[in-house]
């Protein structure tokens, strides 16, 4: 019997305190992420902030999800000073970059969600808009006022992209909870945009999108773990399928 692919999920970290869950620092992540991976056929595993152990972890895993959170990647990574609205968690960013690099060395599937997509772009030489109200003022609220388990706006998928292949969609309804966005995807390709032109999904080049063969390195600005659009479940299923076929047979048996 083929085992479920082991999928690493990057965790957030909080400092703790007398009125918090713990008095000491602790890792945390919304249950939605774990449920979504399990429902898609994977076995989720939380990853601590240990850059030195990233290679060892990824050698035992079949795929990586770089999750989102209420923080921003350090703009020094793409040659800029911090915006006043930028909030850093350098320990988390260092660990996530190490996990991304290890996954790339091992040619394992990587799915980035929200801030995870932004960090994937940076890892491929891209840059960010540090505060979208400064760059994209308009009718679309990228930090939507309605609940996060509801759609905030549409995205338009690029025909022929890996994202379009897996979701079977030309447009999707997505939630939106970010104040930063990808300005330049670096060596990645744009696979979806919001109606105002903001990049909403990116992916690695060099993929046969008719068959799905090739590296699965894909990031989305929204949160597919909320399953707002039918394409979300298909995207996650495609990721798990890629993880199932990305590792040697003796590791999957």
- Report d(CA 110, CA 112) in Å as an integer: 7
For residue 133, give both structure tokens.
């109200």
DSSP 62-107: SEEEE---S-B--GGGGT-PPPTT--B-HHHHHHHHHHHHHHHHTT
Which residue in the list 129, 142, 178, 223 is annotated as catalytic? Answer: 223
* Cα-based distances in Å from 138 to 132, 166, 217, 241: 10, 30, 30, 38
Active-site annotation holds for 32:
no
Q: What distance separates the 2 farthest-apart alpha carbons in the chain?
A: 54
- Of 96, 200, 203, 225, the catalytic one is 225
Would residue 169 show up in a list of annotated catalytic residues for this protein? no
For 150, other C-beta atoms within 10 Å of its C-beta total: 11
* 114 given a catalytic annotation: yes
Choose, from 114, 153, 179, 200, the residue flagged as catalytic. Answer: 114
Catalytic residues: 114, 223, 225
């Amino acid at each position: 019997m083929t085992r479920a692919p082991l999928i690493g999920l990057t965790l957030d970290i909080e400092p703790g305190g007398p009125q918090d869950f713990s008095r000491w620092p602790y890792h945390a992540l919304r249950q939605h992420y774990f449920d979504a991976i399990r429902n898609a056929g994977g076995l989720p595993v939380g990853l601590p902030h240990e850059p030195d152990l990233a290679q060892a972890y990824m050698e035992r895993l079949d795929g990586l999800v770089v999750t989102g959170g209420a923080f921003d990647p350090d703009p020094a990574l793409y040659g800029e000073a911090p915006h006043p609205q930028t909030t850093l968690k350098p320990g988390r960013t260092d660990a996530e970059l190490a996990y991304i690099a290890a996954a790339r060395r091992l040619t394992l599937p990587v799915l980035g969600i929200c801030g995870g997509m932004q960090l994937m772009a940076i890892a491929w030489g891209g840059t960010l808009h540090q505060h979208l109200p400064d760059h994209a003022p308009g009718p679309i609220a990228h930090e939507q006022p309605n609940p996060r388990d509801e759609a905030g706006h549409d995205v338009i998928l690029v025909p022929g992209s890996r994202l379009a292949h897996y979701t079977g969609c030309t447009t999707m309804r997505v939630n939106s909870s970010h104040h930063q966005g990808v300005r330049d995807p670096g060596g990645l390709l744009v696979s979806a945009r919001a109606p105002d032109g903001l990049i909403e999904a990116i992916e690695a080049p060099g993929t046969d999108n008719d068959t799905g063969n090739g590296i699965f390195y894909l990031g989305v600005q929204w949160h597919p773990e909320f399953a707002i659009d039918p394409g979300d479940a298909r995207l996650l299923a495609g990721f798990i399928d890629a993880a199932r076929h990305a590792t040697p047979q003796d590791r999957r048996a």
